[in-house]
Amino acid sequence: MAFDQSTNESDSDIHKYVVWSGGEEEDRYILFARSTDGGKSFSSPLSLSGSSRSNVFNPEVSSSGNNVYVVWQGQSATGNQDIFLRKSSDYGASFGAAENISNDPGGSGNPDIAVVGNDTHVTWEGTTPGNNFVFYTKSNNGSDFGTPQKLSGNQGISYNPEISVKDNSITSADSFTYKAVDENGAESNIATVDVNPVTNTNDEPNIKNNGKSVSIDSTHEVEITLKAKDMNKDSLKFEILTPPSEGRLLNFNPNSGTVTYVPNENNEIDINWHNYVSGHDKVLTKNIESSDTPIGKDNSDPFKLRQK
């Protein structure tokens, strides 16, 4: 029998993933399969929870690029239920060892996961220090997770956490400056490259690139070729003088003047869960503010609470 199915489509057109728990009611495997042809066919199921059936439930899968992450609720070495994670760095062809990311002496369950760029967000419900609470942790590389943070308050019973991701496109223009220097040390005037975010219906970058003006869909990166002329046709080298503020520059080649502009990610991460108090059930939400600081590492209160 199959239970608890979760699916995920990667940010490529051909890779799709599915996980589920298979077996008997209390005696199962966590199974994973992938498609490399857009969902036309899937691989044979791979057990991520080991070669023997055990008390494993509620798998979830998420991916970004070639990285695939699966979490589930399973029995730890101490005999209680915890949250386990396995990561693949090759589109689900193989997985690393399972990691216990909750380590809850009271027991944990019902995980959810969302991968946004390099950040991996995981939430679940746990029973330490005594009630049913909602917990959250984050990794900037998918491997090193911070100390779990308790999101819910002490009133009532909190359960069924879910992660939602909202893409907030960058709307402000960006720019950076550069100059060219010839082989004799003569310098050009300072030039400015303007990067203007535009909205496109075909999901492709709309590029107007003459070296000084670039239009780009803010969800895409684009390669830019810087321009300069030397009257004596001497060889030139380019220098970036001031970097952009709404993105970053990668793969800069000072000889050819090519550089890749990558817009900053601007996603809003919400954790939603149910809270049952005195016969009333309501949904609470905590927004996770954008931060490069891992949770639990000099960032003890990165949350804002609001009620739906």
182 and 87, same structural domain?
no
Q: What mean pLDDT, rounded, does the chain reach? A: 82
- Position 231 scores a pLDDT of 84
pLDDT value of position 197: 73
Among the three residues 227, 245, 263, which one is the final residue of a domain in this structure? 263
pLDDT of residue 49: 94
pLDDT at residue 305 in the model: 37
Task: Say how far apart CA 297 and CA 164 lie, in whole Å.
Answer: 23
Please indicate, yes or no, whether residues 80 and 7 belong to a single structural domain of this protein: yes
Measure the CA–CA gap between 34 and 113, rounded to whole angstroms: 18
Domain count, the chain: 2
- Cβ contacts of residue 24 below 8 Å, gap of 6+? 1, 53
- The string of DSSP letters for 120-161 reads EEEEEEE-TTSS-EEEEEEESSSS-BPPPEE-S-SSSEEEEE
pLDDT of residue 77: 85
Residue 212 is part of which domain span?
174-263
Q: Are residues 104 and 229 in the same domain?
A: no
CATH number for position 147: 2.120.10.10
pLDDT tens-digit map of 152-184? 998 899 999 999 887 666 667 888 999 999 999
Report the alpha-carbon distance of residue 58 to residue 125 in Å, rounded.
12
Separation CA 274–CA 288 (nearest Å): 17
Contact predicate 5/24, CB 8 Å: no
* 78 conformational bin, left if phi > 0, alpha if psi -120 to 50, beta if neither: alpha
Task: Provide long-range contacts, Cβ within 8 A and 24+ apart, for 213-218.
Answer: 214/261, 216/261, 216/263, 218/169, 218/170, 218/171, 218/263
| Residues 129, 243 within the same domain | no
Residues 87 and 148 in one domain: yes
Instruction: Bin 9: left if φ > 0, else alpha if -120 < ψ < 50, else beta.
Output: beta
Residue 44 scores a pLDDT above 50 = yes
Residue found under tokens 């042809």: 37
Are residues 190 and 118 part of one domain? no
pLDDT, one tens digit per residue, over 224-270 is: 889 888 888 889 999 999 999 888 898 899 999 999 888 776 678 89
Tell whether 197 and 248 lie within a shared domain: yes
109 and 258 in a common domain: no
Residues 40 and 119 in one domain: yes
What the block records as the tokens of 212 is 């000084």
Give yes or no for a contact between 155 and 275, defined as CB atoms under 8 angstroms apart: yes
pLDDT cut 90: percent of the chain above it: 47
DSSP 8-state code for residue 187? B
Above pLDDT 70, what percent of the chain?
A: 81
> Does 144 share its domain with 25?
yes
Let me know whether 285 and 185 are in one domain.
no
- Say yes or no: 142 and 258 in one domain: no
Question: Residues in the chain, how many?
Answer: 308
Distance CA 21, CA 34 (A): 15
